[in-house]
């Protein structure tokens, strides 16, 4: 699936790099009155690649986690749709 995403202007993010045995963590929230969402591990990887405008997030995530696209691709696509449906990511045309 080739689709690009961006962070909407009303979404804030904080990225905490892995340290002390903790996985990569990203906290996102619609401002000013949204609920914070914690993304950890592969969820954080998916978010960051999509938010950076990667045009083939599914392939990039599969490569980043060393898994076949056929195995994790459908899960990634569902997750991206969920983030977009929540207004945390915006699909670019």
Task: List pLDDT tens digits, range 35-69.
Answer: 999 999 899 999 999 999 898 999 999 998 899 99
Residue 32 has pLDDT above 90, yes or no: yes
Residue 15 has pLDDT above 80, yes or no: yes
Give the phi and the psi of residue 66 in degrees, each rounded to 5. Answer: 60, 45
Peptide bond just before 32 cis, omega within 30 deg: yes
Q: How many Å apart are CA 55 and CA 60, to the nearest integer?
A: 9
């Amino acid at each position: 699936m080739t689709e690009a995403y961006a962070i909407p202007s009303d979404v804030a993010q904080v990225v905490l790099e892995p340290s002390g045995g903790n996985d990569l963590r990203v906290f996102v929230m619609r401002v000013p009155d949204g609920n914070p969402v914690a993304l950890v591990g592969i969820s954080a990887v998916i978010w960051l690649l999509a938010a950076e405008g990667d045009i083939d997030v599914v392939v990039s995530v599969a490569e980043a986690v060393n898994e076949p696209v056929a195995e994790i691709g459908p899960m990634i696509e569902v997750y991206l749709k969920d983030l977009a449906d929540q207004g945390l990511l915006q699909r670019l045309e």
